[in-house]
Chain A
Amino acid sequence: MIYPLVWMLGASLKPAAEVVANPGLLPAEPTLDNYRLGWTALRVPFSGFFINSVVLCGLAALGNVSSCSLAAFAFARLRFPLKRVLFGLMLLTIMLPFQATIVPQYILFLKLGWVGSMLPILAPKFLAVDTFFVFLLVQFIRGIPTALDDAAAIDGCGPFRTFRSIILPLLTPALATTAVFTFIWTWNDFFAQLLYLGNSLDTYTVPVALRAFVDSSGFASWGQMLAMCAVSLVPIFALFLAFQRLLLEGISTVGLRG
């Protein structure tokens, strides 16, 4: 099941010729050369791409956490006209294929002059476009007893105060789930990054850089390529190890209450 991953690790430690010659798991002559050479294989060292990816994904996580929690609080706790219609719209947009909006969004961002920056990818995160997380947070908030809200209201708290002091602190696990999933999914989001950040080597993020590497090199550098691939998976793997329980439970409960 995870044999491909382990093989990739082994292959990244094999010298160039051995990657093809020896299909086995373990390198006959382990070497760290691939990591060293692959790191600087493109004009910009991989550290630059890593920084771009980390900044992008970190900001994306921040955006989703803030905008989706605000919307979720309104849907879960407040009464307002058109609530049903808007909630229904929100649910529908979860299932909207990204192809429906990608072309006009590109034209919009082109007109705004944002192509080539991270803004086209970050703006949707700060505007709760990933409605999946709004739904997740709504379900979570519904599990928080309203007695707490009542107590706050009796003490004279308005909705903003209640949100900030009562709901948000209790929402921490769900917010962490949102943040981690957003980080991981943004890290892997190749299409958008190819489109908006793929024109200049300096704005490349890790997935775009990996693809450029594949395209520009011949088969002799499989070892280096796999080494860089392995490195690129490390952040996701680390997040997975650290937040395993959170991720698995997040997925389970969305399905159950869905």
Chain B
Amino acid sequence: MRTLSRPLHRPAYWPKYGRAGQEALAAYLFLTPWLIGLVGLTLGPMLASLWVSFTRYDLISAPRWIGAQNYVDLLADDRYLHSVRVTLSYVLLEVPLRLSFALGLALLLNRGLRGLDLYRAVYYLPSLLGGSVAIAILWRQFFGPDGMVNSVLMNLGWQNPPTWLHDPRFALYTLVLLGVWQFGSPMIIFLAGLRQIPRELYDAAEVDGARAPAQFLNITLPLLSPLILFNLVLQLIGALQAFTPAFIVSGGTGGPVDSTLLYTLYLYEQAFGFLHMGYGTAMAWVLLVVVAGVTAGIFASSRYWVFYMDRSG
């Protein structure tokens, strides 16, 4: 008698494709493109880049083994350390803000407003367009010294507004704003998740006398926590790869005064500007290790704050 608790990846009946060996062969044939890509364009290059990171290589002459010198140089490189700080500031601001707006708007929209489709579309559109060069150029105009924002501010009476993008104090924040403006895609995910929370839970809470904040903390947040985890990891990894806005807005320099020198921008400059391939791959590996560590940490911590409906406790 088959029980109902079978692993999800195996349906109750297996279509019979001849013997298991034939099925395995067919499977590997289906997987061939992906396997070639995995080995040739992902794993292979990753291993190769690990090796390159221990060399000095400029594409013209042969790579020269220099041991861990690249990594040592990174730690002593002020611009590198600065780019790490800039990237951390960017990510630690942008991701929480973006997720907060996403959750907040999702909660609002979930109340069943009329014209929900229109609102969803309007909030989602920036996240489709936002990563483009076009929007980055628009942002560069908006926040330039005589851009739209300053024109409005001066009309309102502010004589000397900051020059935003040309001011090292504020340039990065305009990029954060650009990122937060694109909160639409995590919002859609939260909205879908909110829709799945059974109405009865809220009704029962009302009967027990729980008011809105208590309902939010005890029902909404826990039931949404798997999606919060999903969005958090996704947005974090995405934010760490940010390149286009910083590149366009600063004209490729990471300026003013390196205030928008995101990690990827510096990597681009070193690897493809100066052809310091070894140095660039060392930077890439440091990033990879950090991302892996942070992601693992988040997943490990999720035991304490993520609640799954289909498991007990």
Binding site for A on B (CB under 8 A): 8-18, 20, 23-24, 26-28, 30-34, 36-38, 40-42, 44-46, 48-49, 52, 59, 120-126, 128-129, 131-135, 137-142, 144, 146, 148, 151-152, 155, 181, 185, 188-189, 191-193, 196, 227, 230-231, 233, 237, 240-241, 243-244, 247-248, 251-252, 263-264, 267-268, 271-272, 277, 280-281, 283-285, 287-288, 291, 295
Say whether B131 contacts A127, CB under 8 Å: no
Q: Which of B18, B37, B280, B281 is in CB contact (< 8 Å) with A124?
A: B37
How far does the alpha carbon of A237 sit from the alpha carbon of B12 in the complex, in Å?
A: 43
Say whether B138 contacts A108, CB under 8 Å: no
> A1 at the A/B interface (Cβ < 8 Å)?
yes
Q: Which of A104, A131, A254 is in CB contact (< 8 Å) with B49?
A: A104
Say whether B30 contacts A97, CB under 8 Å: no
Q: Which of A7, A123, A146, A226 is in CB contact (< 8 Å) with B15?
A: A146
Min Cβ gap B292→A in Å is 9
Which residue of chain A is the closest to B286 with respect to CB atoms? A99
Q: Which of A70, A103, A255 is in CB contact (< 8 Å) with B230?
A: A255
Chain B residues touching A, majority SS: helix
How far does the alpha carbon of A187 sit from the alpha carbon of B128 in the complex, in Å?
A: 11
How far does the alpha carbon of A228 sit from the alpha carbon of B244 in the complex, in Å?
A: 18
Contact partners of A258 in chain B: CB under 8 A: 230
Contact partners of B34 in chain A: CB under 8 A: 67-68, 70-71, 90, 127-128, 131, 134
Task: Identify 7 residue pairs between A and B in the complex whose beta-carbon atoms are under 8 Å apart, listed by A's number.
Answer: A4-B138, A96-B42, A101-B42, A101-B45, A188-B129, A190-B132, A255-B230
How far does the alpha carbon of A83 sit from the alpha carbon of B7 in the complex, in Å?
A: 14
Which residue of chain B is the closest to A254 with respect to CB atoms? B189
Contact partners of B18 in chain A: CB under 8 A: 158
- Total interface residues on A, CB under 8 Å, equals 98
Contact partners of A90 in chain B: CB under 8 A: 34, 38
Chain A residues touching B, majority SS: helix
Say whether B15 contacts A152, CB under 8 Å: yes
Contact partners of B135 in chain A: CB under 8 A: 4, 229, 233
Q: Which of A73, A152, A253 is in CB contact (< 8 Å) with B30?
A: A73
Say whether B137 contacts A97, CB under 8 Å: no
Per CB-CB distance, the 3 closest pairs between chain A and chain B, nearest first, are A127-B37, A23-B151, A252-B192
Contact partners of A1 in chain B: CB under 8 A: 122-123, 126, 181
Say whether A233 contacts B185, CB under 8 Å: no
> Given contacts A73-B30, A123-B41, are A103 and B132 in contact (CB under 8 A)?
no
How far does the alpha carbon of A160 sit from the alpha carbon of B144 in the complex, in Å?
A: 57
**Known A124-B41, A134-B34; 6 more pairs at CB < 8 Å:** A4-B135, A74-B26, A78-B26, A78-B30, A95-B237, A229-B138
> A86 at the A/B interface (Cβ < 8 Å)?
yes
Which residue of chain A is the closest to B40 with respect to CB atoms? A127
